[in-house]
A and B are shown apart, each in its own frame.
Chain A
Amino acid sequence: MIRHLLSGADLDAATATEILDTAAEMATVAGREVKKLPALRGRTVVNLFYEDSTRTRISFEAAAKRLSADVINFSAKGSSVAKGESLKDTALTLQAMGADAVVVRHPASGAPHRLANWVDGSVVNAGDGTHEHPTQALLDAYTMRSRLGRLDGLHVAIVGDVLHSRVARSNVLLLSTLGAKVTLVGPPTLIPVDISPALAPGTDVSYDLDAVLPGVDVVMMLRVQRERMNDSYFPSAREYARRYGLDGPRMRRLPGHAIVMHPGPMNRGMEITPEVADSPRSTIVEQVANGVSVRMAVLYLLLGGNNR
């Protein structure tokens, strides 16, 4: 088993499948009266969040608590980081407190990789800048597998702000490892120029959403990340929504079995309309529930045994 989970590329097909299978067992705990397992008793998990987050932080916290680990939440606001403490000094502090795992979200791409060199425990990347968010990719893969029964051979369209999306990057890496075909769709300004063959063989790029929709099993809408945009990538929100937003008529172009995903938080009316977001095809609420199971699986597989 791997020691850190920093990138979707850290996982080979066997390890990724083991995580998804373990997550399926963890999911059964959610339906029990005692929603707790003793596997990580006495272990400490630190949630180190330098960026705002609702679902990821809560999801990791719930996952760690269901496995009986002790959870310490750290957010940059209201901590010594506000006084100018560096990431390294913070890491050494956590190290001294005996953290067995550090779940880190950071606005700088690559921060979790640096952190992994400074602490003895396992590091889980919970989103670094515009780089990667591997547990999101795992929960997306888990959701696809539980809804559609398989991953191998699926055609997945990832639509929207691919350029700024760590979710897209991790998904491309993981899905291609697991045998799915990915098509990235968005305005040319929001698709990285170097994405295709080098990153994941078989990944296509399209600028025409309507042409892609009839042939996909999964359409994953990405949030337009206004906070990371320091330039004008498209003329107006209305034009973006008209060309790349998923609305009712577009959803009806999908094959009957196809599902609609969104990592959240949504800009309703921008990349997705309420009609689509609240339709039976939408897995958005399921993704949140699955997130806890998948993160339990990741924490258990990283911390459960004697892997040092």
Chain B
Amino acid sequence: MAYPPAAHSSPPRQPSVKVILAAADVTRVVDRIAHQILEKTQGAADTVLLGIPTRGVPLARRLAARISTFEDVTVPVGVLDITLYRDDLRRHATRAVGPTELPPGGIDGRRVILVDDVLFSGRTVRAALDALSDVGRPASVQLAVLVDRGHRQLPIRADYVGKNIPTALAESVKVTLAETDGADEVRLHGGAA
């Protein structure tokens, strides 16, 4: 037996996609974060940028490149793989482990800025903090993200935010970058149109 049609049936819901940041916006936002880092860290002295894979890594490289254009300082860049520190390892099939690459000078006694694309629950950053304490002892740790979409599940906040995007839990934020996906864009998927 078929269900009767609803009284006023809404049109079939299209999965909505909204572009939040276009390529030019992403460039501007990265430039602004680079400036903010310089301002907040007194010229990025003794600072190391650590990208969290996948998209935090190219973002960290871009920030370092922009900082060296603006102020003529070289900020070391590294990669911090957090796979083995995730709190949901057991809920999924085994995840592939990626490389962790620390800059030659290490991170001991320096200011580490973790770089990621989206800040959401905060669990990735929690894992990154654990991973960080196993590879060294930084003087301080800061966090830079391209997008903060809210819905934190842990007491974590970012020091540098490219764009705050108010979202519903059902929505998802997709960041694409030229290095990993061919083009720069931030999109909001799903939710009510």
Contacts and interface: CB of A to CB of B under 8 A. Distances in A.
A1 B94 contact: yes
Interface in A20-35: 21-22, 25-26, 28, 32-34
A33 B135 CA distance: 7
Interface string A39-80: 100000000000000000000000000000000000000000
A77 to B, nearest CB: 35
A33 B99 CA distance: 17
A21 B98 CA distance: 9
B85 A38 contact: yes
A39 B84 contact: yes
Contacts of A13: none
B11 to A, nearest CB: 39
B134 A34 contact: yes
B97 interface: yes
A306 B88 CA distance: 10
Contacts of B135: 32, 34
B89 interface: yes
Nearest to B91: A306
Contacts of B85: 37-39
Nearest to A22: B97
Output the residue of B90, B93, B98, B99 with the most chain A CB within 10 A: B90
Contact of B89 (A22, A36, A302, A304): A304
A305 B95 contact: yes
A225 B130 CA distance: 47
B6 interface: no
A18 interface: yes
A306 B90 contact: yes
B99 A25 contact: yes
A293 to B, nearest CB: 11
B90 A305 contact: yes
A38 B84 contact: yes
B185 interface: no
A300 interface: yes
Interface in B57-112: 81, 84-85, 89-100
Contacts of B97: 22, 25-26, 300
Nearest to B97: A25
Interface in A274-308: 300-302, 304-307
A22 B134 contact: no
Contacts of B133: 34
A231 to B, nearest CB: 45
B94 A38 contact: no
A305 B130 CA distance: 19
Contacts of A28: 99-100
Contacts of A21: 96
A22 B100 CA distance: 12
Given A25-B97, A39-B84, A300-B97, A305 B92 contact: yes
B81 A25 contact: yes
B92 A306 contact: yes
Contacts of A306: 90-93
Given A300-B94, A306-B91, A38 B99 contact: no
Contacts of A304: 84, 89-90, 94-95
Nearest to A303: B94
Contacts of A25: 81, 97-100
Contacts of B81: 25
Given A25-B81, A38-B130, A305 B96 contact: no
Contacts of A305: 89-90, 92-95
B123 to A, nearest CB: 14
Closest 4 CB pairs of A and B: A305-B94, A39-B84, A34-B134, A25-B97
15 contacts: A1-B93, A25-B99, A26-B97, A28-B100, A32-B135, A33-B136, A34-B133, A34-B134, A304-B89, A304-B94, A305-B89, A305-B90, A305-B94, A306-B91, A307-B94
Interface of A: 1, 18, 21-22, 25-26, 28, 32-34, 36-39, 300-302, 304-307
Given A25-B98, A300-B84, A304-B89, 10 more contacts: A1-B93, A21-B96, A22-B96, A25-B100, A37-B85, A38-B85, A39-B89, A301-B94, A304-B84, A305-B90
